[in-house]
């Protein structure tokens, strides 16, 4: 194993062991800065890298302070941790090539999921001792993405390429809120070529896909129902039952009609409500999402959520609020760029492991980066590197084949170096 591969693995495992939730990637961002130090890149942090104020449901100060405390206890630089807690966890690193050329932006997402990682002995991170101990888990490969991004920065430190490379270390991809926050801070300005990379997708390890297709537009939402409390036996008729409304809304959302125009994914991801067994519950809340590979179907599904939530509230005579907390869209990769990245891959790896497209049944706010860059006349694509996952994404036993990180690293390096 090469030293570079060693490095990839070491960094990935360090990140993996301390998985952090969206917008709380404080130790991870501090690690990114630590690894970038000494490299010939200009770094933007905090308000220069993202705008927390445009984010729905941004963690409150107490949650951020607690995350900073945990990050510091786990070795993060205290000053950096405080700054990330205060101003946001995004990190942008620009490396200037030695020759004129296009501005590349490559996105590496940093956040983990609220999943308790498997501790079964045949789960490699558990067996080798880098299982996450934070309660969150990198069950989507973002740990590998960050490792690739940092290794790429080291590789490109020779500046032997045309143009400029912007490495986007993005928070909160899972909740599709980080990209918009960074774009709002100008992070996509002046970008000519946008790439997102993702490990996994149940492809054989090392498979290289030039363009993920079928990426799903999504709207995340939060609904609150406000009723009236009453003694559950003394005066149930005076209560207005917020949990009953939330239950009806949940079933209604799950039963939204299918469409022949696209997939129709729906989820109620969280629910909460009520205060005691003997009180008619006066408050309930739920969060969820809709998705489709067709933007119009996604919009219809959200119309459906709007209708269902209002009707469930009306049925139980309670008030309600519904907010769209995050949105993402579909991606239409640019053929020109897809051709280019596939040519790079073929030159180094041959054609056997290449695929032009593969369906990615997921959402990703890389779509917002792509749309922003394309709107300004640039090109974009979203590449995949197979990683032989033993379990599906978002599963407590998800893992990546760590050797796939080298494939991704070399591919990105080649793309940048070969561009004119």
The whole-angstrom separation of Cα 403 and Cα 123 is: 17
β-pairing, 193-199 with 379-385?
A: parallel
Tokens describing residue 392: 């599906």
Work out whether 19 is an interface residue with its own copies (CB under 8 A).
no
In angstroms, what is the minimal distance from the CB of 326 to its own copies?
A: 8
Given the complex with its own copies, which of 168 and 215 has the nearer CB atom?
215
Q: Supply the minimum distance, in Å, between the C-beta of residue 141 and its own copies.
A: 12
Q: By rule CB under 8 A, what count of residues binds its own copies?
A: 79
Q: Residue 185 or residue 253: which is nearer to its own copies going by CB?
A: 253
Q: Which of 272, 323, 336, 348 binds its own copies (CB under 8 A)?
A: 272
The two tokens of residue 117 are 């990682």
Task: DSSP for 190-210, please give it.
Answer: T-SEEEEEEE-TTPPTT-EEE
Q: What sign does the dihedral 385-390-394-396 (CA atoms) show? A: negative
Please state the closest distance from residue 161 (CB atom) to its own copies, in A.
34
Q: By CB under 8 A, which span of 85-93, 178-186, 309-317, 408-416 interacts with its own copies? A: 309-317
Toward its own copies, which CB reaches closer, 3 or 276? 276
Q: Which stretch binds its own copies (CB under 8 A): 64-72, 88-96, 150-158, 250-258?
A: 250-258
Nearest-angstrom CA–CA distance, 338 and 383: 9
What is the closest distance, in whole angstroms, from the C-beta atom of residue 265 to its own copies in the complex?
Answer: 5
Residues 174-213 that bind its own copies (CB under 8 A): 174-175
Minimal distance in Å, beta carbon 148 to its own copies? 21
Residues in CB range of 355: below 8 A, 6 or more apart = 207, 208, 209, 210
385 conformational bin, left if phi > 0, alpha if psi -120 to 50, beta if neither: beta
239 interacts with its own copies by CB under 8 A: yes
State yes or no: residue 323 binds its own copies (CB under 8 A). no
CA distances from 43 to 30, 49, 124, 195, 384 (A): 12, 9, 34, 19, 27
Who contacts 259 (Cβ-Cβ below 8 Å, separation ≥6)?
292, 294, 297, 300
Q: Which of residues 361-390 bind its own copies (CB under 8 A)?
A: 361-363
**112-151 positions binding its own copies, by CB under 8 A:** 113-115
Rounded CA-CA distance 357/371 in Å is 19
Interface pattern 328-357 for its own copies (x via CB under 8 A) = ------------------------------
* Distance, CA of 387 to CA of 297 (rounded, Å): 31
Give the count of beta carbons closer than 10 Å to the beta carbon of residue 392.
12
**What part of residues 49-108 is at the interface with its own copies (CB under 8 A)?**
none
Find the shortest distance in angstroms from Cβ 361 to its own copies.
4
Q: Is 252 in the site for its own copies (CB under 8 A)?
A: yes
103 versus 367: smaller Cβ distance to its own copies: 367
Q: Which stretch binds its own copies (CB under 8 A): 64-72, 73-81, 268-276, 408-416?
A: 268-276
241 part of the interface to its own copies, by CB under 8 A: yes
Least distance in Å: CB of 249 to its own copies? Answer: 8
Determine the distance from the C-alpha atom of residue 313 to the mean position of all C-alpha atoms in its chain, rounded to a whole number: 32
């Amino acid at each position: 194993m090469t030293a570079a591969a060693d490095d990839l693995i070491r960094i990935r495992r360090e990140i993996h062991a301390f998985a952090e939730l969206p917008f709380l990637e404080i130790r991870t961002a501090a690690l990114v800065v630590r690894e970038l130090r000494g490299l010939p890149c200009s770094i933007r942090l905090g308000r220069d890298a993202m705008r927390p104020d445009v984010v729905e449901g941004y963690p409150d100060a107490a949650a951020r302070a607690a995350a900073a405390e945990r990050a510091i206890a786990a070795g993060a630089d205290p000053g950096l941790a405080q700054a990330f807690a205060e101003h946001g966890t995004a990190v942008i690193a620009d490396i200037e090539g030695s020759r004129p050329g296009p501005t590349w932006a490559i996105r590496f997402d940093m956040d983990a999921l609220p999943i308790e990682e498997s501790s079964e002995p045949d789960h490699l991170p558990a067996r080798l001792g880098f299982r996450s101990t934070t309660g969150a888990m990198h069950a989507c490969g973002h740990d590998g993405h960050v490792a690739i991004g940092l290794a790429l920065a080291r590789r490109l430190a020779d500046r032997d390429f045309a143009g400029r490379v912007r490495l986007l270390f993005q928070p909160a991809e899972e909740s599709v809120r980080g990209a918009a926050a960074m774009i709002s801070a100008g992070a996509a300005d002046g970008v000519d070529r946008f790439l997102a990379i993702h490990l996994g997708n149940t492809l054989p390890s090392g498979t290289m896909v030039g363009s993920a297709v079928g990426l799903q537009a999504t709207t995340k939402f939060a609904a609150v129902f406000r009723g009236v409390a009453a003694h559950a036996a003394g005066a149930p008729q005076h209560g207005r039952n917020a949990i009953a409304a939330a239950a009806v809304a949940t079933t209604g959302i799950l039963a939204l009609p299918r469409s022949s125009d696209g997939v129709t994914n729906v989820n109620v991801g969280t629910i909460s409500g009520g205060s005691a067994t003997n009180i008619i519950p006066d408050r309930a809340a739920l969060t969820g999402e809709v998705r489709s590979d067709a933007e119009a179907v996604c919009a219809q599904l959200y119309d459906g959520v709007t209708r269902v939530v209002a009707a469930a509230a009306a049925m139980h005579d309670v008030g309600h609020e519904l907010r769209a907390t995050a949105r993402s869209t579909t991606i239409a990769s640019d053929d020109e760029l897809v051709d280019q990245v596939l040519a790079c891959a073929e030159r180094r790896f041959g054609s056997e492991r290449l695929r032009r497209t593969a369906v990615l049944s997921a959402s990703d706010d890389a779509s917002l980066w792509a749309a922003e860059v394309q709107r300004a006349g640039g090109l974009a694509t979203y590449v995949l590197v197979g990683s032989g996952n033993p379990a599906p994404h978002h599963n407590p036993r998800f893992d990546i084949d760590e050797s796939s990180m080298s494939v991704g690293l070399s591919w990105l390096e080649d793309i940048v170096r070969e561009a004119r």
